[in-house]
């Protein structure tokens, strides 16, 4: 790699690896005083990035890791467009509106055939959930104030399996999060228990279409029916939000008769991640409201300093246009049939992986056949080795597979989870099965780390711990150890 000679330097650079830049300390805290050649800067950064994991082998993530070259080109062609400049980039704005309409149609939004749906693009489902939560809080406040009632203690009812963005919303916007606890063999929110927790201060009940933990769809239809009964009895108008971050682009194609969306009258808003099974790279989500009345007008800002009146309801201002354009590309490129084929392939490969894992005889499958295409599984016998050891050992083959404990009250259950994305083929599934079998054989020949830790944890502070308590201590230890090692790698 030839570099131009710096006329201000006596050093003549012939190759990046023969230059002083590869032996200099990489800047970490302070911007360097002088410039370096562009090729050297590229090489320094590229070399460090080699230590990252392979995104396509990162089976912890739901996020898309592959797109067609034609879409990659569209992304690069628009990477310099600021989406918020709507007057300057009207076509990009139009593409967003088309995406909103298409998604609303998928979710059976009650709008006319030529009527624009209510929604917007976001930076992932986290922002979408923040916006939905703010809309629910404001609607609740307006109702309470009109009745002369206090607005001091708003709350949201969710399952303990919700993604952390719900906890962020509750903390950032001062809303109590009331969680329905899980139980062994039931790892989603129980609709009956959720409705029992609803009170006059509940701004909404959040249901998950595709639990992060097991991929399972929560029963939104039952939740809607039970909530309708309670609303009729109490005179409240407690609504439902569906967090369809993972399942929103799966259910319409694989389970069209499943009622979870705007077909249910108490569902007022739905979020979905375009960068998950919407098949777009990270950085795009969507929020759709049932009707215009479900988005309070006083939350929408109108700006004109970019050239024209523009309504905006976001938590940020500037953002790229690339992912919006990429989403529209996928919609018109694949169409309904293309998405259906891809989701069917994902489910077929998930079933193949599930069968291979079951054949080992060592695991219990926790994920369901209907839901997000993933396989969540736990060891039948954790007395000698743990899922955290298995996850750690699979790393040597390049696989990034998360091991984690369930939320309360099932925290004594530790699982592995493999997410099946578009680019996870049958060949990769078979290879992963082979490596899991190999790892099982290897750790069976090793001394039991669990036994060693259990012996140390049996007596603590003079009290003899139960087997379950010891197992929880061991699980926490391995979880910390795995996370620590990941931090070192990063």
Per-residue pLDDT, averaged over 17-42, amounts to 89
In whole numbers, what is the pLDDT of the chain averaged over residues?
Answer: 90
pLDDT at 87: 77
In this predicted structure, the answer to whether residue 464 has a pLDDT above a threshold of 50 is no
Structure tokens at 75: 């992304």
pLDDT at 452: 59
pLDDT at 88: 84
Q: For the stretch 279-290, what's the b/e string if a residue is b when 16 or more beta carbons lie within 10 angstroms of its beta carbon?
A: bbbbbbbbbbbb
- Spatial contact of 403 and 482, defined as CB atoms under 8 Å apart: yes
- Locus of tokens 């139009």: 94
Distance CA 413, CA 417 (A): 13
| % of the chain surpassing 90 pLDDT | 76
Q: List, for residues 108-145, the tens digit of each pLDDT value.
A: 999 988 889 999 999 999 999 999 999 999 999 999 99
pTM listed for this prediction: 0.89
pLDDT at 449: 72
Structure tokens at 265: 């009258």
In this predicted structure, the answer to whether residue 337 has a pLDDT above a threshold of 60 is yes
pLDDT at 473: 59
pLDDT at 85: 81
Please report the domains of the chain, with CATH numbers, ordered by start residue. 19-52 (4.10.280.50), 73-334 (3.40.640.10), 344-485 (3.90.1150.160)
- Locus of tokens 């927790």: 197
What's the burial of 71, exposed, middle or buried (CB within 10 Å: 0-12/13-18/19+)? buried
Per-residue pLDDT, averaged over 328-349, amounts to 98
Confidence of residue 148 (pLDDT cuts 50, 70, 90): very high
Confidence of residue 10 (pLDDT cuts 50, 70, 90): very low
Per-residue pLDDT, averaged over 75-91, amounts to 89
pLDDT at 12: 47
SS3 402: coil
Per-residue pLDDT, averaged over 59-71, amounts to 97
Q: With the C-alpha atoms ordered 145, 148, 149, 152, is the resulting torsion angle positive or negative? A: positive
| % of the chain surpassing 70 pLDDT | 88
∠ CA 132-136-141, rounded to 5°:
145
pLDDT at 366: 97
pLDDT at 305: 56
CA-nearest of 211, 237, 253 to 415 is 211
What is the per-residue DSSP string for 347-373? HHHHHHHHHHHHHTSSEEE-S-SSBSS
Q: List, for residues 295-316, the tens digit of each pLDDT value.
A: 999 998 877 755 666 677 888 8
Taking the CA atoms of residue 430, residue 432, residue 438 and residue 440 in that order, the dihedral angle to the nearest 10 degrees is -120
SS3 238: coil
pLDDT at 302: 79
Q: List, for residues 221-256, the tens digit of each pLDDT value.
A: 999 999 999 999 999 999 999 999 999 999 999 999
Of 39 and 267, the one with more pLDDT? 267
pLDDT at 171: 97
Q: List, for residues 422-442, the tens digit of each pLDDT value.
A: 999 999 999 999 999 999 999
pLDDT at 467: 46
């Amino acid at each position: 790699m030839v570099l131009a000679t710096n006329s201000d330097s006596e050093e003549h650079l012939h190759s990046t690896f023969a230059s002083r830049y590869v032996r200099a300390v990489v800047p970490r805290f302070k911007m360097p005083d002088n410039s370096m050649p562009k090729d050297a800067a590229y090489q320094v950064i590229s070399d460090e990035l080699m230590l990252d994991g392979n995104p396509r082998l990162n089976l912890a993530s739901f996020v898309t890791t592959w797109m067609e070259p034609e879409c990659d080109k569209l992304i690069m062609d628009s990477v310099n467009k600021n989406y918020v400049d709507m007057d300057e980039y009207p076509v990009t704005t139009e593409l967003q509106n088309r995406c909103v309409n298409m998604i609303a149609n998928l979710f059976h939004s009650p709008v006319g055939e030529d009527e624009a749906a209510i929604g917007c693009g976001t930076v992932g489902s986290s922002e979408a959930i923040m916006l939905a939560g703010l809309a629910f809080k404001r609607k609740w406040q307006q109702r309470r104030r009109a009745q002369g009632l206090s607005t001091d203690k708003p709350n949201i009812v969710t399952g303990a399996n919700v993604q952390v963005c719900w906890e962020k919303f509750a903390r950032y916007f001062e809303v109590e999060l009331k969680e329905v606890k899980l139980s062994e063999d039931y790892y989603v929110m129980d609709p009956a228990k959720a409705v029992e927790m609803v009170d006059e201060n509940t701004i909404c009940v959040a249901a998950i279409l595709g639990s992060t933990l097991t991929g399972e769809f929560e029963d939104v239809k039952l939740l809607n029916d039970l909530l309708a009964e309670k609303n009729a009895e109490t005179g409240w108008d407690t609504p439902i939000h569906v967090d369809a971050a993972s399942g929103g682009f799966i259910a319409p194609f694989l389970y069209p008769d499943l009622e979870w969306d705007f077909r249910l009258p108490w569902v007022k808003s739905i979020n979905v991640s375009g960068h998950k099974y919407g098949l777009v790279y990270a950085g795009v989500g969507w929020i759709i409201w049932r009707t215009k009345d479900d988005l309070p007008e006083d939350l929408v800002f109108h700006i004109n300093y970019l050239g024209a009146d523009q309504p905006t309801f976001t938590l940020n201002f500037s953002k790229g246009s690339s992912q919006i354009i990429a989403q529209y590309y996928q919609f018109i490129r694949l169409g309904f049939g293309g998405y259906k084929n891809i989701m069917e392939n994902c489910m077929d490969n998930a079933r193949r992986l599930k069968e291979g894992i079951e054949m080992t005889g060592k695991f219990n499958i926790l994920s369901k056949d209907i839901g997000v295409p993933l396989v969540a599984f736990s060891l039948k016998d954790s007395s000698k080795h743990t899922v955290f050891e298995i996850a750690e050992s699979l790393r040597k083959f390049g696989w990034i597979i998360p091991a984690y404990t369930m939320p309360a009250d099932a925290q004594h259950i530790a699982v592995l989870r493999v997410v099946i994305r578009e680019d996870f083929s049958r060949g990769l599934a078979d290879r992963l099965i082979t490596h899991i079998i190999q790892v099982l054989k290897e750790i069976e020949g090793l001394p039991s780390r669990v036994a060693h830790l259990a012996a140390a944890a049996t007596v603590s502070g003079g009290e003899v711990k139960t087997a379950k308590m010891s197992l929880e201590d061991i699980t926490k230890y391995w979880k910390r150890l795995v996370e620590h090692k990941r931090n070192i790698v990063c």
